[in-house]
Amino acid sequence: MSRDKKPQNPRRKPAPETSPEPPSLFDNLDAFLTAPAAAPAPQAAAPAASGNGAGEGGAPAAPAPVAAPADGAAKPPPREKEAFVHGGKGPMRELMNDNFLQFASYTICNRAIPTVEDGLKPVQRRIMHALWEKDDGRLIKVANIVGHTMQYHPHGDASIGDAIVNLANKRYLIEGQGNFGNLFTGDPAAAMRYIECRLTELARHELFNPKLTAFIPSYDGRNQEPVLLPSKLPLLLMLGAEGIAVGLSTTILPHNFIELLEAQIAIIQKKPFKLFPDFQTAGLMDVAEYADGVGRIKIRARIAPRQHNRLVITDLPWGNTTESLIADIEDAIRRKKVPVKEISDFTSDKVEIELTLVPGATQEKATQALYAFTRCESSVSSRPVVLYQNRPREMTVGEILAVCTEQLLDISRRELELRRDQLDAAFHAKTLEQIFIEQRIYKRIEEQTTYEAVQQAVLEGFVPFRKQLRRDVTLEDVEGLLQIRIRRISRYDINKNREEIAAILKEEGEVADNLAHLRAYVVRYLKGLIKKYSRDYPRLTEIAARPFGAIEVRELTATELTIKLDREGGFIGTDVRGGEELFKCSSLDKILVVWDDGRYKMMPPP
């Protein structure tokens, strides 16, 4: 055989173009499951044995080369290159998208973001519902409320306990007894089995009305929980809220209860109003960069001079505790930013942090240094993102309060209509009872032999008195009359019954008048709340008359450092011991050092 043309190695032969590549799982799951295996490479036929070949003695011969396809033979069409899609475009991508959207929707609508309508997150709403179900006016162990709430809340008990403590510390809805922690020091609450709570009078009367509440099955279908509470209070702005969901977060600052009620009156009367936050830790507030719930505020601790060399902090900036503030002041002392040598914390039910100044420091400059270099002045940002009609939405404080006011009007109207229907039913029942006894209709049943005949006799007995009734007598009405005991008939007081009917008619007139003048009725209701609770909820945070001025930090630190020179050792800096004092400077200054040969260097104080 000629050696000019060697046979090709079958191991290095490329796969034929007709063999399809298995598709990706992300492209098409069905095609992946049903794709045929790649066809094996065709084997070349063995050549005939010859004397010169390598196949003598039973050794395998080299395979012959495969013939190339003849010209004009059909070739498979080239595969089109598909556009790249991040994550694929098959069923796995759809599965991941659906699961992520479900998780995001659940986190936004059922965990992290509060609703405008009742101002509560789901865990808070379930806690309030559980407290209302258990409410008998007496204190209940928090552990019992946690267990009862778990019938409605599909998460752990720790989150429920923390939410109860948080609501109790905000004072409006839950009254606590025992150690619920300290808002000023940051101390935690006692264990749930050691503390007790109950609804406040405000929550008991203004948040619940089962006849105006829509219910849905709980997560396991065994109980019914409220979709929303029929709250007549602007709870969202009273309590404030913070939450982080998927793709969005919310920060709503708390406001003063009485000021919110006054603003609602202004909305009803179509008058202008302004609202600013109010914090339980009090302090002094600059609202120059705050506009209707959006923006940021600056809030300062209240620092007052005491004696000739001391300062006392009596209010905290929102978001700080005495422990965190003292730690921050100590750090500033180590950095030589504030002229304080001693800190004493006397906080109990009120904040009292006493600072003793270093000799030679003035109280005014020390106060400015505390505002400049510590958390005695802090910034708080606000960005209200809420659920309105079960959809996330960014709203201003004015828009939130307008929605709450419209809801107050709607709930008040529905309550009046409900009371009107109750009074109408009471009038009908009292009138039926009066006619039944005064006209001795009950005597007609003595001669009847069947129950149906008894019912018919009673119905016929009311026919002459139909004009005294507002509607026809039904079998249900007859059943109620037949339940009246003989003792009650014998002791029936005609005058008392007429007085009760007159009282019903009077109240019906009042209800009709209130429905006709609904806005005036709601304004009277709001003014009643203001009169009742104004002493319990005064404003705590003072609004500054003018914006906080810029603090000249360089002026405060002008003598912060002392530069010394050690001529013998050739050292210069602030930590040189026993050297010659050259001058005082600030850590913000730059020092220019010049050598005799003209070299120079600019650097921060060494």
The answer to whether residue 170 sits within a structural domain is: yes
pLDDT of residue 23: 46
The answer to whether residue 237 sits within a structural domain is: no
Residue 353 belongs to domain spanning? 302-375
3-state helix, strand, coil in the chain (%, to 5): 40, 15, 45
Given a cut of 50, is residue 55 above it in pLDDT?
A: no
Q: Token digits for 205?
A: 């009367």
Q: Which secondary-structure segment (H or E) carries 288?
A: none
Please indicate, yes or no, whether residues 464 and 356 belong to a single structural domain of this protein: no
The answer to whether residue 102 sits within a structural domain is: no
Q: 175: pLDDT confidence band, cut at 50, 70 and 90?
A: very high
Q: Looking at the whole model, is its pTM more than 0.85? A: no
- Tally of domains within the chain: 4
* SS3 at position 427: helix
Please indicate, yes or no, whether residues 133 and 172 belong to a single structural domain of this protein: yes
Q: What is the average pLDDT across 520-528?
A: 97
Q: Kindly give the pairing relationship between strand 224-226 and strand 241-244.
A: unpaired
Q: Flag the least confident range among 219-223, 284-288, 452-456, 482-486.
A: 482-486
Query: Rounded mean pLDDT of the chain?
Result: 85
**Nearest-angstrom CA–CA distance, 576 and 563:** 8
Please indicate, yes or no, whether residues 415 and 526 belong to a single structural domain of this protein: yes
Predicted confidence (pLDDT) per residue in 436-456, tens digit: 988 888 888 888 889 999 999
Given a cut of 70, is residue 5 above it in pLDDT?
A: no
The answer to whether residue 129 sits within a structural domain is: yes
Q: 60: pLDDT confidence band, cut at 50, 70 and 90?
A: very low
Q: 49: pLDDT confidence band, cut at 50, 70 and 90?
A: very low
Last residue of one domain, picked from the residues 204, 229, 254: 229
Write down the H helix ranges in 345-474.
363-373, 397-438, 451-461
Q: At what angle do helices 518-533 and 257-268 cross, to 10 degrees?
A: 160
Q: Token digits for 371?
A: 């505002």
The answer to whether residue 238 sits within a structural domain is: no
**Nearest-angstrom CA–CA distance, 430 and 421:** 14
Please indicate, yes or no, whether residues 426 and 509 belong to a single structural domain of this protein: yes
**Nearest-angstrom CA–CA distance, 127 and 257:** 21
Predicted confidence (pLDDT) per residue in 202-242, tens digit: 999 999 999 999 999 999 999 999 999 999 999 999 999 99
Q: Which amino acid is at 7?
A: P
Q: Which long-range contacts (CB under 8 A, 24 or more apart) does 501-505 make?
A: 501/427, 501/430, 501/431, 501/434, 504/423, 504/426, 504/427, 504/430, 505/427
Please indicate, yes or no, whether residues 200 and 128 belong to a single structural domain of this protein: yes
The answer to whether residue 507 sits within a structural domain is: yes
Last residue of one domain, picked from the residues 214, 229, 244: 229
Query: ∠ CA(338), CA(343), CA(348), 5° rounding?
Result: 130
Please indicate, yes or no, whether residues 354 and 431 belong to a single structural domain of this protein: no
Supply the CATH number for residue 464's domain: 1.10.268.10
**Nearest-angstrom CA–CA distance, 509 and 32:** 77
Please indicate, yes or no, whether residues 356 and 432 belong to a single structural domain of this protein: no
The answer to whether residue 42 sits within a structural domain is: no
Please indicate, yes or no, whether residues 528 and 562 belong to a single structural domain of this protein: no
Residues 6+ apart with CB under 8 A from 262: 273, 530
Other Cβ atoms within 10 Å of 108 Cβ, number: 21
Closest to 111 (Cα-Cα) out of 127, 99, 123: 123
Which of the following is catalytic: 194, 290, 521, 525? Answer: 194
Supply the CATH number for residue 324's domain: 3.30.1360.40
More confident residue, 37 or 123: 123
Last residue of one domain, picked from the residues 375, 395, 423: 375
Three-class HEC string of 215-284: EEECCCCCCEEECCCCCCCCHHHHHCEEEECCCCEEEECCECHHHHHHHHHHHHCCCCCCCCECCCCCCE
Closest to 562 (Cα-Cα) out of 573, 553, 552, 571: 573
Q: What is the average pLDDT across 166-185?
A: 95
Predicted confidence (pLDDT) per residue in 86-111, tens digit: 666 678 878 888 887 887 777 777 78
Supply the CATH number for residue 177's domain: 3.90.199.10
Please indicate, yes or no, whether residues 419 and 523 belong to a single structural domain of this protein: yes
**Is 194 an active-site residue?**
yes
Q: Which secondary-structure segment (H or E) carries 376?
A: none
Given a cut of 80, is residue 285 above it in pLDDT?
A: yes
Please indicate, yes or no, whether residues 146 and 198 belong to a single structural domain of this protein: yes
What are the Cα distances from residue 22, in Å, to 14, 25, 34, 76? 17, 9, 9, 17
Closest to 534 (Cα-Cα) out of 222, 262, 232: 262
Please indicate, yes or no, whether residues 528 and 431 belong to a single structural domain of this protein: yes
What are the Cα distances from residue 262, in Å, to 256, 404, 410, 562? 10, 13, 19, 57
Q: What is the average pLDDT across 39-63?
A: 45
The answer to whether residue 319 sits within a structural domain is: yes
Given a cut of 60, is residue 32 above it in pLDDT?
A: no
Exposed, middle or buried by CB within 10 Å (0-12, 13-18, 19+), for 222? exposed
Please indicate, yes or no, whether residues 192 and 125 belong to a single structural domain of this protein: yes
